[in-house]
Amino acid sequence: MTAIGRLVLFIYNLVILGLAGLIVAATLGWLDPQAYISMVLDSTQNRMIAGVVAILVGFLALLMLIWSLRPAPRVDTVMVDKGIEGDVTMSIPAVKAIIMKAIRQVDGVKEMRPEVVSSPAGVKVKLHTMINPEHNVPEISQSLQTAVRENLEKVGGLQVAEIKVFIDDFVAAGK
């Protein structure tokens, strides 16, 4: 939750706590709520202040309602293993780290941007690459697919459904 959200929650809780205390005091006979309500509603200035406070409390309540109904941010994960003791999952950034480690083993790749999607058949990987034009495209693609598949299976314990290589551009070796 952000700092503003915490502040709104704090103020909202203070207002609710104050109202709860007033209701308890009134039910125990320590306060005469009718006298306070009459005092607030007697003058125009007091009614305006009470109206502004009611609008602010209503706004805070509406904000809290909206924030509570908003879905939590979802971290995408990939299922590694499902067993009797429980599930083992891996985050998409962790899978991408394994892919980047594998790509460093392949000569001729200048830049790489992996995309990872989890599917029932296993992990689907798309590799957007920039390669050195002095290298053979089919050979470097095959090397990328082999290195990524082996690392994902060996290091991550993941089932790999497919690996697609997209050559986006060629970059000279000097760049």
Domain boundaries, the chain: 3-69, 77-170
175 has pLDDT over 50: no
Q: Of 123, 120, 139, 119, nearest to 131 (Cα)?
A: 139
Write out pLDDT tens, residues 31-80: 787 887 788 788 889 889 888 988 988 888 888 888 888 877 665 788 78
Q: What share of the chain is helix, strand, coil (3-state, %, to 5)?
A: 50, 25, 25
**Global model pTM greater than 0.95:** no
pLDDT on residue 174? 54
C-alpha distances in Å from residue 108, one per residue of 48, 52, 100, 146, 170:
73, 67, 14, 15, 10
Token pair 């709520």 in the structure block, residue:
33
Write out pLDDT tens, residues 12-28: 888 888 888 888 888 88
Least confident of 74-78, 94-98, 108-112: 74-78
DSSP state of 146: H
Share of the chain above pLDDT 70, in %: 95
C-alpha distances in Å from residue 171, one per residue of 97, 104, 111:
23, 16, 9
Distance CA 30, CA 167 (A): 78
Distance CA 169, CA 122 (A): 28
Fold of 77-170: Alpha-Beta Plaits (3.30.70)
